[in-house]
Amino acid sequence: MNYQDTLNYLYDSAPMFQQVGASAYKEGLDTTLALDKHFGHPHRQFRTIHVAGTNGKGSCSHTLAAILQEAGYRTGLYTSPHLMDFRERIRIDGQTIPEQYVIDFVEKERAFFEPLHPSFFELTTAMAFRYFAEQKVDVAVIEVGLGGRLDCTNIIRPDLCIITNISFDHTQFLGDTLAKIAAEKAGIIKPGTPVVIGETTPEIRPVFVKKAQECGAPIYLAEENETPAYTDIDYELKGLYQEKNKRTLLTAIPLLQKARYQLDEQNIRSGFAHVTELTGLMGRWQKLQDSPTLICDTGHNTGGMAYIIKQLEQQPCRKLHIIIGMVNDKDIRGVLAMLPRKAEYYFTKASVKRALPEQELYALATEAGLQGACYPDVPSAVTAAKQKSLPEDFIFVGGSNFIVADLLSHRDALNLY
């Protein structure tokens, strides 16, 4: 098999949540533990940092990896979902896992894993841990896939746990209240392992405190942490929500130093300032064009969109154009109710099975008082917005990881840098 054949095999034999949604979700750790045993418990061969949360965990994971790389650590980074290429999920020092490794892994191991019927994420996690061990990384930053307690990354014994925040997402699996969702994410808290909580509310704070006490885990609330030494730090990621991520990270860094990570001020400042270059991160308030300004962002639930909308309201522009598409298992009405009424909308859909048809999105948006038109795909929506815009206008593209992925995949054809 070549690389594309291998990916097709993985997608077909182990359905990807990213593509098909709930039918790909598999609860429990039995398969993960069987894979881990088969590969000789590879995650025990390197240090780890575990990052969970509804929003911000990807940015925090990438920034931590950048700081560790700048400090000279050989650093693994495991994140999801990918935007353009599967290999984005598994990186060492910013470099994606080689295509040949993915091919060889599947060809050599399929006789073992096929009878287990692993999910796509279970298999990918096993691949990542084995790759990191074989490549002798010093440390790996591991982002939780979904939830925490039953997520297949939750077999690691990390030096530090981070939970960025809690908002409503994946409620069909994690629960229909913030307290229930928090309880699932608190499942990554380990006995004696420090945990940083990025944001709390009166509803969820007791959940984290109780779990930490039960585990004897020191708990640190970023909202109560003062970091005067780094008030002037230059963070390359410019979304408003990154201010909270920055505070979470600045709470975490001294704990890593206490755990014998050699991180100095230069490493920290350089990591914050060069995240995308060092790790390949994309889609976080990413500018792709000036005159008119075109920004994309992967925020896709009410918690993430709240910050995006606040930032859109601060943009000086003649007219705001919003290209939006969503997947069918999100709180679509909740997001639409938040969006600014004065913008012109371009309703579209991403090239995945979970994408909500643009006509259905348009109908719901019209009910919410939004004005715009339908476009069958992201490139046609972007083309239309660019044609209708003057240099002093502002174009935003988002609503879903997959909308951003389609945009980035067509950036050359759309003349975006």
Q: pLDDT digit string (tens) for 180-192?
A: 999 999 999 999 9
Look at strands 90-92 and 75-78 and give their pairing.
antiparallel
What fold, for 3-279?
UDP-N-acetylmuramoyl-L-alanine:D-glutamate ligase (3.40.1190)
**Does position 386 have pLDDT exceeding 60, yes or no?**
yes
**Does position 172 have pLDDT exceeding 80, yes or no?**
no
Give the least confident one: 131-140, 220-229, 384-393.
220-229
373, 344 in Cβ contact below 8 A?
Answer: no
**Does position 20 have pLDDT exceeding 50, yes or no?**
no
The closest of 92, 2, 28 to 280, measured between CA atoms, is 92
Give Rg (Cα) of the chain: 21
pLDDT score at 231: 84
49, 142 in Cβ contact below 8 A?
Answer: yes
Tokens of 295: 């920004």
Widest CA span of the chain, in angstroms? Answer: 60
In terms of pLDDT, which residue wins out, 387 or 300?
387
pTM, to two decimals: 0.93
Q: How far apart are CA 11 and CA 337, in angstroms?
A: 34
Domain ranges in the chain are: 3-279, 286-409
Residue with tokens 């560790």: 68
User: pLDDT, tens digit, for every residue of 226-272?
Assistant: 777 788 999 999 988 899 999 999 999 999 999 999 999 999 999 99
**Does position 152 have pLDDT exceeding 80, yes or no?**
yes
Q: Which residues of 142-175 are buried (b: 16+ CB within 10 A; e: fewer)?
A: bbbbbbbbbbbbbbbebbbbbbbbbbbbbbeebb
In terms of pLDDT, which residue wins out, 286 or 24?
286
Share of the chain above pLDDT 70, in %: 95
Residue with tokens 């790790």: 279
Beta bridge partner(s), residue 372: 345
What CATH superfamily is the domain 286-409?
Mur ligase, C-terminal domain (3.90.190.20)
**Does position 208 have pLDDT exceeding 50, yes or no?**
yes
**Does position 23 have pLDDT exceeding 70, yes or no?**
no
pLDDT score at 21: 47
Q: Determine whether 20 is exposed, middle or buried from the number of CB atoms within 10 Å of its CB (0-12, 13-18, 19+).
A: middle
pLDDT score at 17: 42
